[in-house]
Structure 1
Amino acid sequence: MSDTWAILDDTDSRIVYQGDWQIGGRNVEYNGTTHGLKGTADSSASLDFTGTQVKIFATLDSRKPKNPNPIVDINLDGSLALRYAPDLSSTIQYQQSIFSSSILNEGNHTLSISSGINTSNAIWLDYFEYLPSNTSTPAPFPTSSLTSGQASGHPPQKSLTVGGIIGIILGVVFLLGVVLAVVFLLWKRKKNRVRHLKQYRDSHSGEH
């Protein structure tokens, strides 16, 4: 899923308008353009997109007291997602977020907007935002039944593990212990022979 929002102006060719829409726009609006939806039953707009979330931004008209507030039905993938009924004020409200979907499944979706009441108070579509789906996936890393050493014509190299290193150290210590033990035994045997020889000489020295 992408984390960069794509922006579609109300004049984007991917938005399909039907019915009675008024073209407007001021400098404070996105790209200076809007499409005004008034209360006409057959007026609607739809957008097909590939993504995981979508938002709608609009300009809310200043209220005309003799007319009811607009009601807009927003459908997502054929189901009613929101019935939007703003409480218009005496001033125009620009770039208002009128709809934000929940997180959607990766893939294609259809968003549609239609008027739910007859009124001259308008909602002016300004722009859409959506999070695009990831359309490309990384190629899998090639695998082979041969090891790296066999594939290159050389025998595979073996790396020492921690257990192997410890085993080598213990083996060296053991061999060193054996060598020291042998040296000690030889030294002790030699010492005993010297002592016995001295005792023998001492015992026979009085006979001469």
Structure 2
Amino acid sequence: MSVTTYDDRDPIIQYSGAWVRAGNPADLDATSTFTNSGSGASATITFKGTQIRVFGSIKIATPKTTSSYSIDGGSPTLFTPSFDIGAAGNSAGGFFFRQNFFTSGTLSPDTQHTLVIGDFVNVETGFVIDYIEVVGSANTTTSPSPSTSSSNASSRTTSSEGTTSTEGTTTSSLPTTSVTGTSSLTSSRTSSPIVPTSNSNPSTTFTNSPVTNPTSAGSAITAETSVPVVVTNASSSKASTGTIVGATIAGLALILLGVLGYFVYKRMGRRKLEELAAAPPKLEVDARPFYYQDAPSRTRMSALGGNSTTVLYPAGKSLSGPTTSDEPYRDVAAASPAGPRGDSRYYSRYTQPPPPEYYEG
């Protein structure tokens, strides 16, 4: 059967009246809650389980404080320390720590129960609560409204078969609820009965800070609650960021190359225009000789209205030799070198055959 331990600072314990914070290294978590007021001081815990036990510190002094314990409005059970101060061997002002004040009978595990501690007698000596144990704990609670947070001012311990898990309330900023985080650990603290010990050396310090209930009366705290956590894939985020940065750099590089290419193109075009303006275009002339197709073997020519005649012979041919077409003609009467390297075959006087009226039989 599991045992859940609630420290005195756990919000499941609701205090009313005059209580102050106390603490000693021998206390559970070195904390305790103290009252020496008999006017309406009480402590209340609402739980589910088969049994509940209350532990505290007893000051070795007289008169001895009597406390009352009532479950679900039933008949109260009174507790007054019974050990002899002299036999304990403690000096005045010493304390017994982690003493069992109250143990209930067997309770229904499916019913929510309420334990009220109060009606103190001779409380001027002081009544100190250290922690409360619930056997077979099955506490539930209504989740607080969104964005509500609780302080990390208490702890609770659940024991089962030698394994102890300690729970601390945590502050949550999630848009759901403030919950109780759970961490498992192995502890020397078990649910075995605690042997009363005496200690006169450690001193218990009481402060005058009033006890305020962190939650409303009658509420209970969930022993274990799953916390919805949003997990971000860091590697995916980094990859996405790298892709965006790479694409941006590539785009800028392409734009830069385009601008650079445009300026280079414009500069080359301007240089070409300057070169063309500086050097006029070259004119090429075909120096091939002019031919006259189907020319006669001999031609006599005379100017209109004149008496003199001019005889044309094929170049390089005798007067009596046959002539062939496709050969250039020269002016026999006024032949002169005209053409490349003084070649008289190149016709310099006419650029086309003479008109028909210049021909004579």
TM-score by length of 1: 0.58
Question: Residues 119 and 50 from structure 1, CA distance in 2 versus in 1: closer, same or farther, beyond 3 angstroms?
Answer: closer
Equivalent position of 2:44 in the other structure: 46
Contact 1:60 1:96 in 2 (8 A): yes
Equivalent residues of 2:47, 2:138 under 8 A apart: no
| Residue 132 (str. 1) matches residue 127 (str. 2) | no
**How far does residue 134 in structure 1 lie from its aligned partner after superposition?**
5.8
Q: Match of 1:71?
A: 66
SS of residue matched to 2:24? coil
Deviation of 1:122 after TM superposition, in Å, equals: 1.2
Q: Does 1:95 align with 2:93?
A: no
5+ residue gaps, structure 1: 136-208
**AA at the equivalent of 2:96:** Q
Q: Which amino acid aligns with 1:82?
A: T
Structure 1 residues 111 and 134: alpha-carbon distance in aligned structure 2, compared to 1, 3 A threshold: closer
> How many pairs does the alignment contain?
130
From the two aligned structures, give the one with the greater helix fraction.
Answer: 1
Distance 1:119 1:101 in 2: 22
User: Taking CA–CA contacts closer than 8 Å with sequence separation of 6 or more, which of the two structures ends up with the larger relative contact order?
Assistant: 1
Structure 2: which amino acid aligns with 1:84?
A: F
Is the contact made by 1:5 and 1:132 (CA closer than 8 Å) also made in structure 2? yes
Contact 1:10/1:126 (<8 A) preserved: yes
Conserved in 1, the CA contact under 8 Å of 2:64 and 2:122?
no
SS in structure 2 of the partner of residue 80 of structure 1: coil
- Aligned CA RMSD, in angstroms, stands at 1.8
Task: State the partner residue of 2:29.
Answer: 31
Picking from 103, 108, 116, the partner of 2:112 is 108
Distance 1:110 1:33 in 2: 23
Cα distance in 2 between the residues matched to 1:55 and 1:102: 10
Quickly say closer, same or farther: Cα 1:133–1:13, change in 2 above 3 A: closer
| Structure 1 position 26, deviation (Å) | 0.8
Find runs of 4+ consecutive structure 1 residues off by over 4 angstroms.
none
- What is the deviation of 1:120? 1.7
Match of 1:121 in 2: 125
Q: Percent identity?
A: 25
Letter of the aligned partner of 1:12 in structure 2?
D
Considering only CA atoms, is the larger Rg found in Structure 1 or Structure 2? 2
